[in-house]
Every structure is written in C-alpha cells, then in structure tokens.
C-alpha cells in the first residue's frame, strides 16, 4: 500500500523527469537553432535532415517528415524526411500531390488547426478514406503533425509517425513539433531568400559575360522558375507595336509560335495589355477574363489557366517588353509572388538595357575598328601613292628612255589601283587610230598589232573625244554586243569580245599634255568594281604623271637639239677663230714662200718655220676640239699629252711660246685628270686673251701620293684685290680644284706676270 510519502516521492520523481525532459528538449532546440546560423544555402537541406533525425530520435518516432505546399496552395510535395532503421522512406510518394487527393487531411492543416493527431488509423472518420488508404500504404500506425505558417499563409507541415505500433504522442512531442515548425519556417524562408540572392548573383554574373541576350533572359526565367515551383515563365520583347519571343524554358513551343509577333493592345491577353498600358496585368482565370477573349482558346489548349504580366521598363520608363508568370490552374498571386515578378521584370530590363548597351558598344568598337582599319589602309595607300609618285618623279628626271619611264608608270599604276592590267595608248585622231605605248599585265595576244582602230580599246572613243574619265562594270552580254556591233570590223569585234570576256570592268583616263590630247591610260579588272572617288583620283594622278613624263621627254629632246645646235655653233666659231685663221695664215705664207726663198733663202727658212708652227698649232687646236667632242678620249689619254695639245694650241692662237715640262708620271684618278685639264685650259685661255705675255709655261709634277700643276706667264699681271673671283674664271678654277681635294694658289702683281699653282696630296684628298 502506497503511503503519502511514497506518493509524494513519485510525484517529485515525475516532476524531476519532466523537468529533465524539458531541459533536454530545450537543449535539442538550442543545438538545432544554433546549427542553422550562417549555414550556407547548399547546406540547408542537409541541416533540415539532421534536425529531423534529432527530433525524431528525441520523440521516439519511427519517422519525422516535412512537406511543403506550392505557392498556389494546390499541390503538396514531400521535401524532407528521416526514417529509423528498417522504416522505408515515403517522401518519393508525395511529389506534386494535389490537395484534392487528401481533402480531409489538407482541410485540417490549411484551416490552421494547431495540431493534427491520429492515434490510430482505425480511428479515422469515414470521410478520411483516402487518407486511411495512404497511411496504410505507408505503414503508418499513428501520426501527429502541425502546420507551418509564414506571413499568414500555410506553407506546409511537419510531423512524426509511428510504424511499429500505435503511439500516444505526449504533449512535449507536440510542443517540440510546434517549436520546430517556427524554426523550419525561418530556415526555409532564409533558404528562399538565399536562393533568390544566389539566383540574382548567377544572373548578374551571366549578364557580365559575353552571352547573348536570349541566353541571359533564358537563364533569368530558369532561375525564377526554380524559385517558384509550378510557374512557367516568359519574356517577350517589344519591337514597335509587336511582341517577340525573348526567352522561355517550360512553355510549349507550339504556344510560343502562336503568340510570336503579337500586336499589343488594351485587350490582348496579359502581356499585350501590360505592354500597351505600361502597367501590371493580373489575370487569375484565363477562361473567364475578357482580356483573353482573342487568345483564350490557344491558352486553354495548352492547359494555361492564369497569367500575370509585368511590363519591363527601361531606366527612362520606356516599355522594353514584358515578364509573365503562367500557371496551370486559376489563382491570384501572393505578396511574395508579386515581389518576385516585379524583381524579375526589373532584372529583365537591366539585362535588355545592358545587352543592348553592350551590343551598341561592340558595334561602336567594330565601327571604330573598321574606321581605324580603313584609315590605316587609306594612310598606307596614300603612303604607297606618295612613294610611287616619288619613284615616278625620280625616274622622270632620270636619263632613262621614254619607253622605260612609261612602262614603269604603268606598272606602278596597275599595282596601286589593284588592276589586272594597265595599258597606255597614244592617239592619232587624223587617222582615227591608237598605238600601244606601254602596258603591264596585258595578254600577249592583245599586244599585236601595236596600232589599232580608235574603237578597239574599251571606252577609248568617249574618253579621248570627250576628254573625260570613263568607268564601269561590264553587263553579262557585253561580249555578245561587241560581236554584233556592225560598226566594227571583224578583227576589232573579236578583240573587244576577248577583252570583255576576260575582264569585268575598266577605267579609262585621258592623257592631256599642254591642252593637247595625247592618248589614254586604261585599267582592266577581272571582278566588278565600286570605283570610289579615291580610286579615280589616283588614276588621274598617274595619268598626269605619264603626261608629265611625255612632256619632259619632249622638252628633253628639244633641249638636246638646241644643245647640239649650240655646240655645233661653238665649234664652228672655234674653228673659224683658231684653226681656220691659222690655216689661212699658213696658206698665205706658203703662197709667198717660193718667191721669198728665191730672193732670200734665210728669210724663206724663217717663213718655213712659221708655217711649221702654224700647222702644228692648227693640229693642236683640232685635237683639242676633238677632245671636247669626245670627253671619254680625254680620260683615256695621258694628262701630259692633253696638256701638250693645249700648249701648242695656245702658242698657235696667241703666238706666245708655251713651254711644257713634265716631272713625274704617276697615274692620276679620272676626276683629278679632268679637273687639272680644265684648270690648265682656263688659265692658258686667260694668258692668250689678257696677259700680253712674251712667254708662258706649264709644269706638271705628279709623284706618288702628291703633286702639283703650275701655269705661269711673264705678262702684265693683275691686282688680286681689284679682280672679283668670278672674273677671269678664277672662281671656277678654285671650285674644280676643291672638288677633287686640291688647293689653288694664285700669285700675280701688275707688270710681274701671273703664277697659278694647283697642289694636291692623298692626305688632303
């Protein structure tokens, strides 16, 4: 028999056990709550499973579980569970289960009853037949569950189940579920927020990459669909007054094809209306909403029952498109879903503007790069043109023949204008013909005959007669036109047909020299051309260069003729002034010599000596003139021989004995030999004309490494200070000496003659 003391002790033990259980329960809750602090998103699901295991073991349950409703409250998904050893998992059976499948159970949960408690399945009422069958299938003997509520909405439930035998669930177990319900709601909400943030980061990372706008928007739709199970996302882009597909992941392609190019309006579904009104459009039931009258049958055909659309706006407030959320059952959005669609539309706007800005920047960069490349090509082309023109000017000013110069110009022009052939013709309008003067890339079969009818070259008649640049691409039947042209002779027809078959375009530029038409410069191309202004300018420039070359050749020819005539005149004067007069004097003396010899032999011998000197001088003058005519002979002969001819000529010309003395025979370079010859020639001419000397002398001393030339006379001399360097050829003699590294010294005084010394050495040269 239990005494009062025993009863008191038993009560005390019960209270102590209850306190101990409560402390353990609070410790379990503390550990679980602490474990979720700062838990990464990808660890939250494993954390929930660990928590279910801890509370299941603590409560002595065979299974602890967590299930969630979809945002529309129409579907149920078993998301997490823990099972004791030997208890099969059941979460797989509860995926996308309609709440109508178990109405009695869901009604209790969704009515926010604080606890759903089934001590045994035999205790279930008749209206719970569906639940009784499911519990039996899962092997459940008893069950307790409490709803999870977030922001006034039931989002799911957690519970314990017993499978081995019916179980009476103590109040502490129910309290544990109620407290864990709040913990799991917070954890799941945190997971949802983290998922949204992670999705936004993924979206922004993708936005920063080089993906296309379609790829970026598709990723956004996929992220939103992952966060909103059962939702089907769609982005449409506005172009003018029509909507075009931007991105979709789950909507049927046939439906998307049907609404492609949808024109916006006040009653054009959700998206067409939202884009037209620039405001959100919420259609809870497509089957009933008048805004879907024109599209209802299409939407219902693919099982679409609700559609909420948010306009996608630019930073300036312009409509860029729409973001829509479709559902397969009628429903209105929750506050969370409204925030989600607003966020999605904002992100879509950011993506569209960013990608369009990227595309604009890329296009601007491409345009800039293209302009830089074009400018670089232009600069390179101009540099090539400038270099070609410099080369052309250099060759024009050279001594090369006109044919070589024209061929060079034609080759340069062909390369710079990237033509396959270039031809230069001269024209003879009197005979209505043209003659090939130069060519590059011209086929051998077109080179002969050189002279052709004026109509033979392409555009020649128009170019020449109108003096205009003519260009164009050949039409397909251009060769046949030539063969049918009755104005052409048969050979010219065949020639023009050959040209028009081989080439696809031509450019013809007239050559005009001093207002006179000379001919044309024609470029041939095997592919059609645009014939830009720059191309025409370069062609005209080369035509001008060719005209300049021809004009220079003509001027050079006239100058050469004038120089030859002037040289012949000078030689005639020199022959008259020196050789002719000398021979005339010798002839007169020879005529009187026989009579004088009879009367006075001594005087006759003197006259005979004069004849000898005169003829010798004339011979020397002739040799000197021959050297002038043939400068190469001067370089080939010995300098001493050339100086002897000068001395003899001066003696014959002025009657002044000139003595030549050669002290060395060291060979001299050609330029030194020529300079010394010219200096001696100038000095002896001065003596003959101005010195009034009785005697003159020339001394050449050529030694290894050095030497000097001295020309002296005993004439009237001159005052160096009173005579300018340009007088008497003194400056010219000094320049000739300086050019070969020699020094000139002039010593002269009035009444004391003149001495000119030219000295050189290898150290000074």
Identical fold between 394-561 and 656-765: no
Q: Left if phi > 0, otherwise alpha if psi is -120 to 50, otherwise beta: which for 657?
A: beta
Low-confidence ranges of the chain (pLDDT < 70): 1-19, 21, 112-113, 207, 210, 455-466, 560, 563-586, 613-614, 616-635, 652-653, 724-728, 763-765
Q: Provide the pLDDT for residue 285.
A: 95
Place of tokens 């990459």: 209
C-alpha to C-alpha distance for 91 and 659, rounded to whole angstroms = 138
Q: Provide the pLDDT for residue 297.
A: 93
Q: Are 51 and 183 in contact (CB under 8 A)?
A: yes
**Among residues 550, 489, 541, 488, which one has the least CA distance to residue 518?**
550
Widest CA span in the chain: 210
Q: Where are the alpha helices (DSSP H) in 575-663?
A: 581-599, 601-629, 631-636, 639-654
Q: Provide the pLDDT for residue 3.
A: 65
In 691-720, which positions are buried (b, 16+ CB within 10 angstroms) versus exposed (e)? bebeebbbbbebeeebbbbbbbbbbbbbee
Q: Are 437 and 470 in contact (CB under 8 A)?
A: no
Protein fold of 20-195: Beta-Lactamase (3.30.450)
Contacts of 269 (CB under 8 A, 6+ apart): 259, 262, 283, 291, 292, 294, 295, 299, 307, 309
Angle between the N-to-C axes of helices 670-686 and 639-654, in degrees from 0 to 180, rounded to the nearest 10: 10
Q: What is the pLDDT of residues 145-201, one digit of tens each?
A: 999 988 778 889 999 999 988 888 888 888 889 999 999 988 888 887 777 777 777
Q: Are 261 and 244 in contact (CB under 8 A)?
A: yes
**Among residues 228, 249, 326, 340, which one has the least CA distance to residue 284?**
326
Contacts of 327 (CB under 8 A, 6+ apart): 72, 230, 231, 232, 304, 305, 306, 307
Please provide residue 19's backbone torsions phi and psi, each rounded to the nearest 5 degrees: -65, -45
What is the distance between the terminal CA atoms of the chain, rounded to a whole angstrom? Answer: 151
Q: Provide the pLDDT for residue 452.
A: 80
Tokens of 435: 């003659």
C-alpha to C-alpha distance for 270 and 326, rounded to whole angstroms = 10
Say if pTM beats, i.e. exceeds, 0.85: no
**Among residues 456, 471, 430, 467, which one has the least CA distance to residue 547?**
467
Q: Provide the pLDDT for residue 628.
A: 61
In 379-402, which positions are buried (b, 16+ CB within 10 angstroms) versus exposed (e)? eebeeebeebbeebeebbeeeeeb
Question: What number does CATH give the domain 210-362?
Answer: 3.30.450.40
Q: Provide the pLDDT for residue 548.
A: 83
- Distance from the Cα of residue 376 to its chain's centroid: 9
C-alpha to C-alpha distance for 532 and 21, rounded to whole angstroms = 96
Task: Compute the radius of gyration of the chain from its Cα atoms.
Answer: 59
Contacts of 593 (CB under 8 A, 6+ apart): 604, 607, 608, 611
Q: Where are the alpha helices (DSSP H) in 670-763?
A: 670-686, 730-739
Q: Provide the pLDDT for residue 16.
A: 66
Protein fold of 394-561: Beta-Lactamase (3.30.450)
**Among residues 320, 307, 401, which one has the least CA distance to residue 354?**
320
Q: Provide the pLDDT for residue 112.
A: 67
Q: What is the pLDDT of residues 252-299, one digit of tens each?
A: 999 999 999 999 999 999 999 999 999 999 999 999 999 999 999 999
Domain residue extents for the chain: 20-195, 210-362, 394-561, 656-765
Q: What is the pLDDT of residues 651-688, one digit of tens each?
A: 766 778 889 999 887 888 888 888 888 888 888 888 88
Architecture of domain 656-765: 2-Layer Sandwich (3.30)
Q: Provide the pLDDT for residue 309.
A: 96
Tokens of 592: 């009187």
Contacts of 446 (CB under 8 A, 6+ apart): 495, 498, 499
DSSP-assigned states of every residue in 233-256:
EEEEEEETTEEEEEEESSS-HHHH
Tokens of 276: 């037209």
Tokens of 228: 């909103």
């Amino acid at each position: 028999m239990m005494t009062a003391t025993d009863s008191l002790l038993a009560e005390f033990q019960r209270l102590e056990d209850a306190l101990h259980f409560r402390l353990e329960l609070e410790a379990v809750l503390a550990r679980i709550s602490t474990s979720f602090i700062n838990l990464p998103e990808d660890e939250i699901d494993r954390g929930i499973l660990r928590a279910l295991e801890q509370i299941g073991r603590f409560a002595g349950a065979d299974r602890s579980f967590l299930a969630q409703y979809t945002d529309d409250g129409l579907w149920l998904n078993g998301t997490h569970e823990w099972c004791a050893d030997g208890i099969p998992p059941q979460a797989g059976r509860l995926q996308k289960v309609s709440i109508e499948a178990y109405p009695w159970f869901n009604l209790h949960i969704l009515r926010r009853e604080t606890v759903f408690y089934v001590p045994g399945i035999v205790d279930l009422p008749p209206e719970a037949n569906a639940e009784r069958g499911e519990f039996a299938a899962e092997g459940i003997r008893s069950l307790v569950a409490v709803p999870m509520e977030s922001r006034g909405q039931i989002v799911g439930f957690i519970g314990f189940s017993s499978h081995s035998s019916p179980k009476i669930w103590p109040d502490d177990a129910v309290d544990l579920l109620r407290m864990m319900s709040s913990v799991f709601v917070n954890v799941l909400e945190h997971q949802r927020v983290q998922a949204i943030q992670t999705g936004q980061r993924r979206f922004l990372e993708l936005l920063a990459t080089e993906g296309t706008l379609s790829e970026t928007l598709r990723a956004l739709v996929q992220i939103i669909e992952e966060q909103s199970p059962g939702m089907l996302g769609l982005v449409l882009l506005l172009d003018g007054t029509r909507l075009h597909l931007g991105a979709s992941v789950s909507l049927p392609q046939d439906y998307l094809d049907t609404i492609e190019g949808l024109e916006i309006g006040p009653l054009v579904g959700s998206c067409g209306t939202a884009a037209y009104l620039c405001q959100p459009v919420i259609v809870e039931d497509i089957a009933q909403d008048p805004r879907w009258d024109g599209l209802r049958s299409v939407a219902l055909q693919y099982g679409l029952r609700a559609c909420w659309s948010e306009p996608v706006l630019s930073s300036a407030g312009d409509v860029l498109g729409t973001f829509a959320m479709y559902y397969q059952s009628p429903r209105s959005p929750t506050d969370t879903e409204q925030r989600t669609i607003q966020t999605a539309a904002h992100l879509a706007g950011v993506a569209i503007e960013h990608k369009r800005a990227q595309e604009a920047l890329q296009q601007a960069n491409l345009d800039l790069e293209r302009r830089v490349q074009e400018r670089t090509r232009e600069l390179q082309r101009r540099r090539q043109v400038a270099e070609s023109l410099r080369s052309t000017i250099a060759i024009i000013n050279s001594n090369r023949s006109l044919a070589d110069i024209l061929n060079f110009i034609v080759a340069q022009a062909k390369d710079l204008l990237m033509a396959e052939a270039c031809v230069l013709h001269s024209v003879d309008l009197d005979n209505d013909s043209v003659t090939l003067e130069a060519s590059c890339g011209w086929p051998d079969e077109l080179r002969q005959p050189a002279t052709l009818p004026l109509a033979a070259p392409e555009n020649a008649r128009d170019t020449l007669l109108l003096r205009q640049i003519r260009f164009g691409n050949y039409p397909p039947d251009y060769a046949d036109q030539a063969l049918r042209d009755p104005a052409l002779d048969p050979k010219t027809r065949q020639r023009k047909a050959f040209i028009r078959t081989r080439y696809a375009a031509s450019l013809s530029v007239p050559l005009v020299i001093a207002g006179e038409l000379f001919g044309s410069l024609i470029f041939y191309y095997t592919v059609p051309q645009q014939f830009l202004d720059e191309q025409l300018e370069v062609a005209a420039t080369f035509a001008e260069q060719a005209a300049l070359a021809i004009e220079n050749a003509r001027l050079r020819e006239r100058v050469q003729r004038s120089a030859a005539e002037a040289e012949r005149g000078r030689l005639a004067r020199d022959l008259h002034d020196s050789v002719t007069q000398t021979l005339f004097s010798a002839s007169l003396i020879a005529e009187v010599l026989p009579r004088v010899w009879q009367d006075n032999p001594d005087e006759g011998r003197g006259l005979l000596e004069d004849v000898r000197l005169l003829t010798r001088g004339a011979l020397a003058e002739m040799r000197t003139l021959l050297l002038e005519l043939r400068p190469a002979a001067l370089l080939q002969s010995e300098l001493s021989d050339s100086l002897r001819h000068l001395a003899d000529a001066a003696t014959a010309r002025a009657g002044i004995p000139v003595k030549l003395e050669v002290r060395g025979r060291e060979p001299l370079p050609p330029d030194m030999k020529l300079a010394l010859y010219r200096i001696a020639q100038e000095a002896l001419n001065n003596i003959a004309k101005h010195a009034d000397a009785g005697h003159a002398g020339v001394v050449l001393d050529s030694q290894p490494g050095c030497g000097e030339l001295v020309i002296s006379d005993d004439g009237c001399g001159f005052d160096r200070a009173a005579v300018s360097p340009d007088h008497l050829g003194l400056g010219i003699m000094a320049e000739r000496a300086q050019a070969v590294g020699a020094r000139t010294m002039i010593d002269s005084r009035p009444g004391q003659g003149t001495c000119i010394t030219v000295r050189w050495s290898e150290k000074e040269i």
